[in-house]
């Protein structure tokens, strides 16, 4: 059963899919949304397949222009498949996150089975694609899925491009300090030690002010908030998260992937820390920090005040639930090797918080069992690409020795899966080179697949 709508040459189609691939406990079906672009496809051309991540699939399609460029170059079709429990692919509709009995179907394993079943059924229903090799793409969590897709279903996927894929974000696989260390590195590269020092000093000064009677009020006024900050810790966490966002979206041109931002937003933030005017009512570092923060947060908008009341979306609920089940991600800081306040990661406290909010406790070691932990010796036809300025690279595959059968590409000026974005006049030489290398590998994978025997398994009933 298909329903279509067309936007920017992409057809949105609903694919009817079983809810549970691994047991017979549920006979429920749901509609999985996918987007398809076939204008460049010619017989024998590949299917470039995006493994959807934690959000509506249209958002990722609009920010992954490289796949469309490859499709034109390789006479390929493009498909973006939405991840179950995100966007419009909600198995239980608006009740998907209201009943604990629904939670167990939100796993990476079920999502990958969705993708494998979809590709098989799609080829069987559209015989012109029967011999088309499938190349998987994904960024961030989607990149993790692409890596695991190639591992779990090599009979379905010819090769994969796992961009900014933090496949080692799980407990015991990487140093929890790495995330904020790389974030700090991005700010150091953009604004030097002066920028990092000012940010460090701002935290302690904000703490000092907030501890005074009525201290939250002048801080709320300084940050130009629409409503008062609830407490000092909220100010810190809110600002910390946004500084990470700037590092992730530190592209060499204006973009709106993680909100409207100018070109090189980290550089702009550091510059504003120096050029912002000060009024003298509060310490200079705090006034400059608040001014820089508001100027970036409000970029391209006309809001007169800063609103932090985020009405949590369904997608946000989905990812928080996933982190409480199988995507547990320890992140910590020491305040010395990074520009943030010292913080530890407490697995017991985290587990208790998950139990309190969702009624579930995380399986912290399951990913290491299911996805081979750091043993990638048998992985083939995969590209792991990472930008050195991307905080998530701290949990990525950065050395060829870690995955001898795969290809590791590092992009010194790259932010979060910059290489998957469409070409731009401001692209740096290293990201241009990365895309060329990826294209060369894809051509090799396509040729290898066509030399091999891959019979398509279809049923007529």
Residues with a catalytic annotation lie at: 140, 390, 416
- Contact at 8 Å (CB) between 447 and 276? no
Q: How far is CA 120 from CA 124, 127, 130, 199, in A?
A: 6, 11, 9, 51
Rounded distance between C-alpha atoms, residue 417 and residue 409, angstroms: 12
Helix (H) or strand (E) holding 320: helix 314-323
Rounded distance between C-alpha atoms, residue 286 and residue 198, angstroms: 9
Residue 231: name the closest of 320, 308, 284, 342 by CA: 308
Q: What one-character-per-residue DSSP string does 352-401 give?
A: HHHHHHHS----TTHHHHHT-TT--TT--SEEEEEETT-GGGGGS---GG
DSSP reduced 3-state for 456? coil
Rounded distance between C-alpha atoms, residue 236 and residue 202, angstroms: 10
Helices 284-297, 178-211: axis angle to 10 degrees equals: 120
Main-chain dihedrals φ then ψ at residue 111, nearest 5 degrees: -65, -45
- 47-51 and 134-139 strand pairing: parallel
Rounded distance between C-alpha atoms, residue 123 and residue 457, angstroms: 9
Q: Sign of dihedral through CA atoms 42, 138, 297, 424?
A: negative
Please count the helices (runs of H) and the strands (runs of E) in the chain.
13, 9
């Amino acid at each position: 059963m298909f329903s279509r709508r067309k936007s920017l040459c992409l057809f949105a189609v609903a694919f009817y899919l079983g809810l549970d691939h691994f047991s017979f406990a549920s006979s429920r079906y749901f509609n999985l949304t996918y987007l398809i672009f076939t204008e460049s496809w010619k017989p024998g051309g590949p299917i470039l397949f995006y493994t959807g991540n934690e959000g509506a699939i249209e958002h990722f399609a609009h920010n992954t222009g490289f796949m469309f460029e490859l499709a034109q170059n390789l006479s390929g079709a493009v498909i973006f498949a939405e991840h179950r429990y995100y966007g419009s692919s909600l198995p239980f509709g608006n009740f998907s996150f209201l009943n604990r009995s629904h939670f167990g179907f939100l796993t990476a394993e079920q999502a990958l089975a969705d993708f494998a079943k979809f590709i098989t059924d799609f080829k069987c229903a559209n015989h012109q694609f029967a011999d088309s090799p499938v190349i998987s793409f994904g960024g961030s969590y989607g990149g993790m899925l692409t890596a695991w897709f190639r591992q779990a279903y090599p009979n379905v996927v010819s090769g994969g491009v796992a961009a900014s894929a933090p496949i080692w974000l799980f407990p015991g696989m990487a140093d929890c300090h790495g995330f904020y260390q790389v974030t700090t590195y991005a700010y150091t590269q953009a604004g030097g030690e002066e920028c990092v020092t000012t940010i460090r000093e701002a935290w302690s000064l904000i703490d000092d002010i907030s501890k005074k009677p009525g201290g939250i009020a002048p801080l709320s006024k300084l940050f130009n908030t629409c409503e008062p900050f609830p407490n000092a810790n909220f100010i810190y966490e809110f600002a910390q998260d946004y500084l990470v966002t700037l590092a992730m979206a530190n592209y060499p041109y204006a973009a709106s992937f993680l909100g409207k931002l100018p070109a090189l937003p980290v550089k702009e933030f550091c510059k504003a820390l120096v050029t912002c005017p000060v009024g003298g009512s509060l310490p200079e570092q705090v006034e400059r920090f608040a001014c820089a923060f508001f100027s970036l947060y409000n970029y391209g908008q006309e809001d007169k005040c800063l609103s932090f009341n985020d009405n949590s979306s369904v997608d946000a609920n989905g990812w928080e639930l996933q982190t409480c089940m199988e995507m547990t991600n320890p992140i910590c800081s020491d305040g010395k090797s990074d520009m943030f306040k010292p913080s530890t990661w407490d697995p017991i406290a985290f587990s208790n918080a998950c139990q309190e909010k969702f009624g579930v406790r995380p399986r912290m070691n399951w990913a290491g069992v299911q996805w081979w932990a750091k043993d990638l010796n048998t992985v083939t036809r995969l590209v792991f690409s990472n930008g050195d300025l991307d905080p998530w690279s701290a949990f990525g595959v950065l050395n060829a020795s870690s995955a001898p059968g795969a290809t590791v590409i590092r992009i010194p000026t790259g932010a979060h899966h910059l290489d998957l974005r469409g070409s731009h006049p401001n692209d740096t030489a290293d990201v241009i080179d990365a895309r060329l290398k990826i294209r060369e590998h894809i051509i090799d994978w396509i040729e290898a697949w066509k030399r091999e025997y891959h019979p398509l398994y279809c049923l007529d009933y």
